[in-house]
Chain A
Amino acid sequence: MAELTIIFEALWANAIKIERTIGEADNPLAKLCLTVLREQKQQLERLLPKLADEGSILTSGKQALSIVYHDDELIDSYFRSWLRHLKWSEDPFLPEAERLLTVLEETKSRLTEAASLLEDRYGYDAVKYVIPAFYMPIHH
């Protein structure tokens, strides 16, 4: 389970990085993004201690895990929309925001890696209703 802990700790660090960078941006898309990001961060904080008990993560951590994944889908969507907005409004913040896309992509690939680990260990049926399909290995 150490692998999962490493992954989710990295996600938490990414969430902090994004939150700090977006800061107090007042566009509605940025606000939506931040609201979801803060929820994700909070759920990661709930999830991390539970990862110590490997056997029960899909029961004790199921809800937090599911929210973390679903939040990531939303963050990705709102963030990309916000990037388009920054571009169209020629906002000087654009280059910095574009750099954050790499962080988001890293988060996504780590979540995909975690999905794969969880599926390997607990089987597809155990994760089907917890992890959104787009994070699962493609054979499904």
Chain B
Amino acid sequence: MSWIDERVDMNVYTQGDIDRWVYSTCNICSVGCGCHIAVKDNKIVGIRGNAAHPINRGRLGPKGENQWYANNSTDRLLTPLVRNASGELEPATWDEAMSLIVRKTKETLAQKGANSVAIYSTGQGHLEDYYTIGKIGRAGLHTHLLDANTRLCTATTEFCLLQSFGADGTPASYDDVDETDVLMLFGHNLAETGTVLFERVLQRKKRTGKPYLIVVDPRLTPTAKEADLHLQLYPGTNVPLLNGLIRMIVKAGRIDEAFIRNYTIGYDAMLASVEEWTPEKSAEATGIPLAQLEAAAEALGQTSRLVTTTLQGTFQSADATTACVDINNLHLIRGLIGKPGCGPLHMAGQPSSSANRTVGGVGTYPAHRNPQNPKHLQEMARLWNVEERVLPAGPEKGIEDQLSLIEQGKVGLFWNIGTNPLVSLPNRTRVKKALESVFVVVQDPFLTETAAVADVILPAALWGEKEGTMENADRTINLLRKAVDPPEGVRSDFDILLDFARRMDFRDKDGRPLIGYDSPEACFEEWKAVSRGRPCDMSGITYDKLERHNGLRWPVTEEAPLGTPRLYADLRFRTEADDAQSYTKDQFTGRPLTASEYAELKPDGRAILHPTRYSPPPEQPTASYPFWLTTGRLVWHWHTRTKTARSPYLQAIAPNAYAEINEEDAEALSLLPGELVRISSPRGWIEVPANIGNAVQKGLIFVPFHYGSWDGHQAANELTADFVDPLSKQPTFKQSACKIEKIRHSHALTREDTLQTVADHYRIRLDDLLKANRLKADHAVQAGQTLEIPISAANVTLPAYRPYLKQV
């Protein structure tokens, strides 16, 4: 492992000794750091990193250290709420709220049929919650409408893996990150989104000089600042870059021909698709100088150990899955997969979004079963003891398609669990309007912005108040023990789902309750049987074993009792027709292939190289909206700040949104640092201070998406376009068009005015007044002339979070 030492980060706030430390896992990002929760008087009073956990050896990032404040927040929901006849949310008993949900569900099913109830869940719950959602959704409600905010997070990971390797499950792991010679972080701002893993990379780099770090990002992020090679491409050009690089590598003869011949299919068609991407064309499309492209091709073509990670910069783009498939292609043609220090490591954003994919709470059937393969559905019917004919066949519907179905009146009930779509989904005006037209259940610990459209709100337990497991980004299953009881009146997601199943009287074909388990651990035991023999086999896991070994990477079986650090070490891919999780999709259009089309490909255990035809972003800058808009995260906050805004420390550091604007653009617009500006797109507008610098390239605006309160005008998703990637249906948050407008008072100069008196009057510095009006210091004041006065200015400089610089 790369850590050479442990460092126990701790954040405890109490007087005197604590009562106990309880074993857990950080519930913020997908890195999966082990931790212990401090408990005193049945209250969570802090956290410390788990020194023995191989992922973090005791370290925690700022969000991890501060996540527990939310548990003690005074604005926790403590009772269900139901919207009354006058449109107000009023307290209700659990029985009233659940009875209403059950009545509405039954009415909806009777009126609109099976596919009229949608469950939209999260990537922050437990594996056991997701498995239960999958079972209730498919075998109880018989619905296709199971999706989650993982659609905004890891959907692309899943689909690119299905396309190339036949099943989900990221091939490489953090062990490979520790052993690789070249690490390419592709659209992955690891320094801000996975601080502990980035620290792990940099600690090794400082010690050994490895890995050579390539960062692909249109922004000069904190990650890019540490890169050996930063490829600062234009927005929306991941595929032109990768196609160009692959072509260069092939032309240089740096491919593993024997590997391609023995372990892949589709090489010729793949090659034909990149042929047009000459270095010059690739350089022109991406804006990356030729010399840098050559340096990248050299590094990627020479190395015998390469790990490539991806995250939202790749996933939330118009060419998302194709770019990730391009990365898989690169690893396959170089034979860099299935061995130490090698492989694609397509990440996840949230702490357990991978679990949701694995157990079938979203997407395909549990344990990587293909919803179009009758044999897989027969197997599920046997495991769940239901008739195969009641299990819905065919591909799932992503959230954007679900919104379209809602608009067409086909959905009657939308159950939202642990996510805040009115802040996190693109084009939120449309989302709000759609959700106002259906019966909405919101299950959350807090009154989020989505409560605005809720008909029922169910108060849910938080991290530390429930037991279960999560799957991180490298297939590690981690355990979370319950540290304290939820507050009086609050229930865990798991208990709420079980109550719903009981009240709906879901039964198996022998008349026994469909949900036969009554605790998360019993649920996990059932899940183990479902996973047996599948790629994500967890039959060798128990809760106690997870605690003893500090997490295990699936598959964990009798043959691999301590898990599997990397997939495909035997170079057998999961592409046999009756093993594969999908018959794959057409790489350009996204149309699911039929069973016979797939059979004709004859992959038979070989990986699939797909052609990677480029489809540019549908919306691009125009004369009316001349800037690119991209959105993303800050190191200080998580998603819609439901938890992180309740940490006084995190909230004080980053209380407001802003817009990063390139200094040349700011100069052209005579903008002042921190000046309030209006950013608008064809969807809406926000007003935020300008953060001027060189973090974004010229022509690009970056707005963090964390700030979505209905009170301000700071929500990035007022602006974003709701287009999706054709394969993974992930929205293209990274590419919309926008414009910037100054918001200024005007002041008509009088004879008595001087520039200084005007500056004093508006309490701005004379220099700023001059700059805002492009005036020289010796400008002669002329009565009647109008000056522009910036309406306000804020300090938008955030402190950098880089503990590893102190450390290493």
Let me know if B665 is at the binding interface, CB within 8 A. Answer: no
A63 and B144 alpha carbons, distance in the complex (Å): 22
Our pick among B389, B594, B721 for the contact of A125 (Cβ within 8 Å) is B389
Contact of A85 among B115, B374, B618 (CB under 8 A): B618
- Structural contact, B618 and A28, CB atoms closer than 8 A: yes
Select the residue from B374, B595, B726 with max chain A CB neighbours within 10 A: B726
Q: Of A32, A39, A63, A74, which is within 8 A of B596 by CB?
A: A63
Indicate if the CB atoms of A134 and B115 lie closer than 8 Å: yes
DSSP class of A's interface residues: helix, strand, loop or mixed? Answer: helix
B705 within 8 A of A: no
Check if A85 sits within 8 Å of B723, measured CB to CB: yes
Inter-chain contacts of B619 with A (CB < 8 A): 85, 88-89
Once bound together, how far apart are the Cα atoms of A15 and B142, in whole Å? 32
Q: Are B683 and A28 in contact (CB under 8 A)?
A: no
B287 at the interface (CB under 8 A from A): no
Interface residue tally of chain A, by bracket? 35 or more
Contact between chains at B589 and A29 (CB < 8 Å):
no
Q: Is A133 an interface residue (CB 8 A)?
A: yes
Whether B588 sits at the interface, judged by CB under 8 Å, is: yes
Closest Cβ neighbor of A71 among chain B residues: B591
B residues less than 8 Å from A35 (CB atoms)? 588-589
List of A residues within 8 angstroms of B487 by Cβ: none
Asked if A81 is an interface residue, CB under 8 A from chain B, the answer is yes
Looking at the complex, which one of A32, A82, A89 makes contact with B726 (CB distance below 8 Å)? A32
- Specify which of B114, B401, B618 is in contact with A77 (CB 8 Å cutoff): B401
Known contacts: A28-B616, A81-B618. The answer to whether A36 contacts B591 by CB under 8 A is yes
Interface check A128, CB cutoff 8 A? yes
Report the bound CA distance from A84 to B596 in whole Å.
35
Q: Are A133 and B615 in contact (CB under 8 A)?
A: no
Residue of A nearest to B410 (CB): A134
Bound complex: CA of A128 vs CA of B142, how far in Å? 13
With a CB–CB cut-off of 8 A, which chain A residues contact B394? 129, 132-133
Measured CB to CB, the nearest residue on chain A to B142 is A140
The closest CB in chain A to the CB of B616 belongs to A28
List chain A residues, Cβ under 8 A from B404: 76-77, 80
Question: With A63-B597, A124-B389 as given contacts, are A81 and B591 in contact (CB-CB < 8 Å)?
Answer: no
- The 8 Å CB contact of B114, one of A31, A62, A82, A138, is A138
Q: Which residue of B lies closest to A36 (CB)?
A: B589
Q: Report whether B389 and A129 are in contact in the complex, using a CB–CB cutoff of 8 Å.
A: no
Check: B757 CB closer than 8 A to any chain A CB: no
Which of B392, B723, B724 is the one whose CB lies under 8 Å from A133?
Answer: B392
B367 at the interface (CB under 8 A from A): no
Q: Which residues of B contact A81 (CB under 8 A)?
A: 618, 722-724
Asked if A139 is at the interface (CB within 8 A of a chain B CB), the reply is yes
B393 touches A129 (CB 8 A): yes
In the bound complex, residues from chain B placing their C-beta under 8 Å from that of A137 are 113
Rounded to whole angstroms, the CA-CA distance of A70 and B597 in the bound complex is 14
| Bound: A42/B404 CA distance, A | 27
Q: For residue B622, which residues in chain A have a CB less than 8 angstroms away from its CB?
A: 89
Q: How far is the CB of A64 from chain B (nearest CB, A)?
A: 9
> Which chain A residue has the least Cβ–Cβ distance from B109?
A138
What number of B residues sit within 8 Å (CB to CB) of A? 43
Bound form: Cα–Cα A88–B405 in Å: 21
Contact check, A70 vs B683: say whether CB atoms are below 8 A apart. Answer: no
A74's partner among B112, B116, B400, B589 (CB-CB below 8 A) is B589
Interface flags for B363-395 (1: CB within 8 Å of A; 0: not) read 000000000101000000000000001001111
A66 near B: Cβ within 8 Å? Answer: yes
- Measured between beta carbons, the chain A residues less than 8 angstroms from B589 are 32, 35-36, 39, 74
| Complex Cα–Cα for A65 and B249 (A) | 41
Query: Are the C-beta atoms of B591 and A129 separated by less than 8 Å?
Result: no
Contacts of B400 in A (CB 8 A): 77
Pick from A89, A128, A133: contact of B115, CB under 8 Å: A133
B590 interface residue (CB < 8 Å to A): yes
Shortest C-beta distance, B196 to chain A (Å), equals 38
Question: Is residue A67 within 8 Å, beta carbon to beta carbon, of the partner chain?
Answer: yes
Bitwise, B695-735 to A at CB < 8 A (1) or not (0) is 00000000000000000000000000111101000000000
Q: How far is the CB of A129 from chain B (nearest CB, A)?
A: 5
B interface footprint on A19-48 (CB within 8 Å = 1, 0 otherwise): 000000001110110011001000000000
B573-601 interface code vs A (CB 8 A; 1 in, 0 out): 00000000000000011111011110000
User: In the complex, which residues of chain B have a beta carbon less than 8 angstroms from the beta carbon of A89?
Assistant: 619, 622, 682
Q: Are B592 and A140 in contact (CB under 8 A)?
A: no
CA separation between A137 and B115, bound complex, in Å?
11
- Chain A residues with Cβ below 8 Å from B588 are 32, 35
Contact across chains for A29 and B682 when beta carbons are under 8 A apart: no
Beta-carbon contact of B721 and A88 below 8 Å: yes
Interface centre among B616, B617, B682, B724, by most A CB within 10 Å? B682
For the complex, give the distance between the alpha carbons of A31 and B175 in Å.
Answer: 42
User: Given A35-B588, A81-B618, A129-B394, are A29 and B389 neighbors across the interface (CB < 8 Å)?
Assistant: no
User: Once bound together, how far apart are the Cα atoms of A134 and B596, in whole Å?
Assistant: 22
Question: How far, in angstroms, from A129 to B722 measured CA to CA in the complex?
Answer: 30
Supposing A85-B619, A125-B389, A129-B372 touch, asked if A140 and B597 sit within 8 A by C-beta, the answer is no
Q: Are A63 and B591 in contact (CB under 8 A)?
A: no
Contact, CB under 8 Å: A88 / B374: no
Interfacial residues of chain A within 79-96, with CB under 8 A of chain B in the complex: 80-82, 84-85, 87-89
Complex contacts, B77 vs chain A, CB 8 Å = none
How many angstroms from the CA of A140 to the CA of B405 in the assembled complex?
Answer: 17
Q: A29 and B723: CB pair below 8 A?
A: yes
Q: Is the CB of A28 within 8 A of B724?
A: no
With contacts A132-B394, A138-B114 taken as known, whether A84 is within 8 angstroms of B591 at the C-beta atoms is no
Known: A28-B617, A39-B591, A77-B404. A88 touches B683 (CB 8 A): yes
CA distance A62 to B589 in the complex (A): 21
| Given contacts A89-B622, A133-B115, A138-B112, A28 and B318 within 8 Å (CB-CB) | yes
Which chain A residues border B594 with CB–CB below 8 Å?
62-63, 66-67
Residues of B within 8 A of A140 (CB): 113-114, 142
Nearest A residue to B430 via CB reads A84
Q: A32 to chain B: which residues have CB within 8 Å?
A: 588-589, 615, 726
With both chains docked as a complex, state the minimum distance between the C-beta of B466 and any C-beta of chain A, in angstroms.
Answer: 33
Top 6 A-B residue pairs of the complex, sorted by shortest distance between their CB atoms: A138-B113, A88-B682, A29-B618, A28-B615, A28-B618, A36-B589
24 contacts between A and B (CB under 8 A): A28-B615, A28-B618, A32-B588, A32-B589, A36-B589, A62-B594, A63-B596, A66-B594, A70-B591, A70-B592, A71-B591, A74-B726, A80-B404, A81-B618, A84-B721, A88-B619, A89-B619, A89-B622, A132-B395, A133-B114, A133-B393, A138-B115, A140-B114, A140-B142
Given pairs A28-B616, A77-B400, 10 additional interface contacts (CB within 8 A)? A35-B588, A35-B589, A62-B596, A63-B597, A70-B591, A82-B618, A88-B619, A88-B683, A124-B389, A138-B112
